[in-house]
């Protein structure tokens, strides 16, 4: 009887510890996220972990940690103006994810060079500008 009680106590304690470490994003606080910087995904490739977003400050290169990468046209909210890993809100799909800002405040051509550096797949990359007319290289 002591063994069963001890085993059930250890199992319950482990369950409490592991469930306490999980981030829960079911209830997204949109008012918080909508007060952050807005960006749109302008380049995303299924073969590359890096993608390009455009905000009012220019282009940024992001890399998602695991999970799904946002698609082109997705609207994101977060801090795109500093290096480092942080959470972002994908308003188009309604979830929060973690990504790393690799480069920020880039011009269109700097962003093209940066994505070619991070994803050297050999095919030409072109993405549209959401702030003005479409750019081509």
Q: Is 69 inside a domain boundary?
A: yes
Tens digit of pLDDT for each residue in 7-23? 554 555 444 444 333 34
Q: Which residues contact 41 (CB under 8 A, 6 or more apart)?
A: 51, 52, 53, 70, 71, 72, 73, 74, 76
* The predicted structure's pLDDT at residue 24: 44
Tens digit of pLDDT for each residue in 16-68? 444 333 344 567 899 999 999 999 999 998 888 899 999 999 999 999 887 77
Average pLDDT value over all residues in the chain: 81
Q: Is 13 inside a domain boundary?
A: no
Q: Is 113 inside a domain boundary?
A: yes
pTM, full prediction: 0.73
Q: Is 45 inside a domain boundary?
A: yes
Q: Is 1 inside a domain boundary?
A: no
Q: Is 15 inside a domain boundary?
A: no
> Residue 113 above 60 pLDDT?
yes
Residues of the domain holding 67: 30-118
Q: Is 7 inside a domain boundary?
A: no
Q: Is 83 inside a domain boundary?
A: yes
Tell me how many domains the chain contains.
1
């Amino acid at each position: 009887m002591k063994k069963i009680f001890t085993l059930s106590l250890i199992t319950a304690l482990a369950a409490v510890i592991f469930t306490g470490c999980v981030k829960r994003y079911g209830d997204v606080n949109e008012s918080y996220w909508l007060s952050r910087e807005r960006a749109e995904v302008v380049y995303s490739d299924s073969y590359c972990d890096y993608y390009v977003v455009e905000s009012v400050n220019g282009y940024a290169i992001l890399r998602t940690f695991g999970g799904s990468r946002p698609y082109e046209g997705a609207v994101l909210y977060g801090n795109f103006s500093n290096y480092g890993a942080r959470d972002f809100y994908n308003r188009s799909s309604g979830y929060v994810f973690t990504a790393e800002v690799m480069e920020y405040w880039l011009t269109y051509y700097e962003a093209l060079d940066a994505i070619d550096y991070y994803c050297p797949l050999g095919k030409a990359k072109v993405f549209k500008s959401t702030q003005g007319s479409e750019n081509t290289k």
